[in-house]
Chains A and B, each alone.
Chain A
Amino acid sequence: MTDRASSGYKSGSTLERMLRAGHFAVTGELGPPQSADGDHIREKAGYLRGIVDGVNITDNQTAVVRMSSLGAAVIAIEEGLEPVMQMTCRDRNRLSMQADFLSAYALGIRNMLALTGDHQSFGNHPTAKNVHDLDSMQLIQVLRDLRDEKKFECGDPVKGVEPRFFIGAAAAPDAGPVEWRPYRLAKKVNAGADFIQTQLVYNTKAFEKYMEEVRQLGLHERVCILVGVGPLKGPGMARYMRDFVPGISMPDHIIDRMSKAAAGIPKEEKAARRDAWRAEGIQVCIELIQQVREIEGVAGVHVMAIEWEEAVVSIVKGAGLLPRPALD
């Protein structure tokens, strides 16, 4: 890794090298358990190994306490995956974040995704105090300064090996104010983001418009944009996303497609209906990947199959992205 870093790579991670080589990258997601069960991660890792270039290890996602992203990322490495460790601003202050960056690098983690974090009111400790000492923009800058300036946030030098991460950030093209979203992305790129993973995209028309503005700002040449896609489990999930999840634009034609998927199957045949919906959800996801791949400036996809990791192989294979390219 050190050799690769000195040969022009920022971190030398597989994800960085895949993108640098011009390959269409694929990342996945693995949610740590609400327990101390490492086998939970080992089992999920089996669904993703060899299928994706990097695996996001979520950080107390939806503000529910889980095994830490650092600990789970280390198990993922042991299982032959390359983790993209997530770090939210909700739970840690700048001391704790930087300490975890040092640990993460020492333990072999090379990709770090800087996130604001879901609000604690959505999780299982709604009376907790949130931190937000830094915001995601500032967190990106801290990661860049640690790597490129060998400096802590306070300005003190790193005394020895500096943590060299491939720095990721999130983007929510469909959140408000929509017209400012390309500019928020520009801020993240200026702060030092190397790659972007977007919120789930279902409305490809709106996303094309977003990318048009991103290209006008020249951002696609400065950052690798991975589009968030995910399989729907049924029409109910599609409607829930349309009605209750901010920052996701769900077009009616996808909801219609999901509804029609089980149209000919009697209501009492629950398993058959479920299978029909899920098959359609995977097919819709494959088509989304094919559509966004045609958009100039899209460097890859981030497949979020929430608690449905088994679906990832069908999606990636169906999209013609297997086997993953070999790197030197």
Chain B
Amino acid sequence: MITGEQKPLDEIKGLLGDGKKVLVVGCGTCVTVCFAGGEKEAQILAASLRMSTKLDGDAREVTDATVQRQCEWEYLDLVEKEVQEADVIVSLACGIGVQAMARHFPDKWVIPGLNTTFLGLPEEQGVWTEQCQACGNCILALTGGICPIARCSKQLLNGPCGGSENGLCEVKRIKRENGIPVMQTDARGREQPVLEDVECAWQLIYDRLKGFDKLDLIMEIQPPKDWSVSRDGGPRRIVREDLRLIDEE
């Protein structure tokens, strides 16, 4: 699924501009499952914006609505009335939903309330990890179902670099809460971000292929990747003629 994290309240407030009537629109799909932008989060954000702008002496009228999926036109029609009454829309969907709202309601100013983070899975309650980068040419059959494009810090295709030790990558992850690095003071009194261990994807791949007696798969030299089917080829598009209702000119 697509995961997201809500932007800090102050940042969202800063994006409201002059809009007096604010509509927070939640999305009932991915961002509901990751507790970032569903109905409950839309209600809480609306209440927070009401209280906070009032305390700032700049009170806004904030309401909320949630649709099943912000990335499909037919669901957006269901909030047409609320949208038309608002000056500014805070979309709590992923980046797809924000853009769908802006296109569907072209005369409305739409701002994002989330940072869309990645395509991932819930590791455990409250923890999500990135699994896929939608690179357009899946190689998981070669790597035992573990993706080095999404999970190796250097996107290596031919095995681990020299920075793999005891199953861990030498590159650490900056611990973040709501997207903001968590800081600590080190022994020299300097503020440093808290770092977390990351598994070496190639150690995971190695262990899994070894278990299946398929290490020969990674002895083959993988050629340079065709990035043109990834984002590097420009914005991508899928056309399925068999599913289309009308022919394109």
Binding site for B on A (CB under 8 A): 89-90, 94, 116-119, 121-122, 130, 132-138, 141-142, 153, 170, 172, 175-177, 180, 183-184, 186-187, 190-191, 199, 246-247
The docked-state distance in angstroms from the alpha carbon of A134 to that of B155 is 9
- Chosen A-B contacts, 14 in total, with CB atoms closer than 8 Å, are A116-B154, A116-B156, A130-B154, A137-B158, A172-B162, A175-B163, A176-B160, A180-B159, A180-B160, A187-B221, A246-B162, A246-B163, A247-B162, A247-B163
Asked if A135 meets B156 with Cβ closer than 8 Å, knowing A176-B166, A176-B200, A246-B165, the reply is yes
CB < 8 Å neighbour of A132 from B155, B160, B171: B155
Asked if A119 meets B171 with Cβ closer than 8 Å, knowing A175-B164, A176-B165, the reply is yes
Binding site for A on B (CB under 8 A): 153-168, 170-172, 200, 202-203, 206-207, 215, 219, 221-225, 227
Between A and B, how many residue pairs show CB distances below 8 Å?
96
Please indicate the chain A residues that have their CB under 8 angstroms from the CB of B161 in the complex: 116, 136, 172, 175
Please indicate the chain A residues that have their CB under 8 angstroms from the CB of B165 in the complex: 175-176, 246-247
Please indicate the chain A residues that have their CB under 8 angstroms from the CB of B168 in the complex: 246
Q: Are A119 and B153 in contact (CB under 8 A)?
A: yes
The docked-state distance in angstroms from the alpha carbon of A133 to that of B231 is 13
User: What are the nearest 9 A-B pairs in CB distance?
Assistant: A172-B162, A137-B158, A246-B165, A247-B162, A176-B164, A246-B170, A116-B161, A175-B162, A119-B171
The docked-state distance in angstroms from the alpha carbon of A121 to that of B203 is 21
Q: Are B219 and A89 in contact (CB under 8 A)?
A: no
Q: Are B167 and A176 in contact (CB under 8 A)?
A: yes
Please indicate the chain A residues that have their CB under 8 angstroms from the CB of B170 in the complex: 119, 246
Q: Are A89 and B163 in contact (CB under 8 A)?
A: no
Please indicate the chain B residues that have their CB under 8 angstroms from the CB of A119 in the complex: 153-154, 163, 170-171
A216 to chain B, nearest CB (A): 15
Asked if A187 meets B219 with Cβ closer than 8 Å, knowing A121-B171, A177-B160, the reply is yes
Please indicate the chain B residues that have their CB under 8 angstroms from the CB of A175 in the complex: 160-165
Please indicate the chain A residues that have their CB under 8 angstroms from the CB of B163 in the complex: 118-119, 175, 246-247
CB < 8 Å neighbour of A89 from B154, B166, B172, B202: B154
Q: Are B158 and A138 in contact (CB under 8 A)?
A: yes
The docked-state distance in angstroms from the alpha carbon of A175 to that of B166 is 8
Contacts beyond the supplied A119-B163, A135-B158, A177-B203: 20 A-B pairs with Cβ under 8 Å: A90-B154, A116-B161, A119-B154, A133-B224, A135-B154, A135-B156, A138-B221, A138-B223, A141-B221, A153-B224, A175-B161, A175-B162, A175-B163, A175-B164, A176-B200, A177-B160, A180-B160, A186-B219, A246-B168, A247-B164
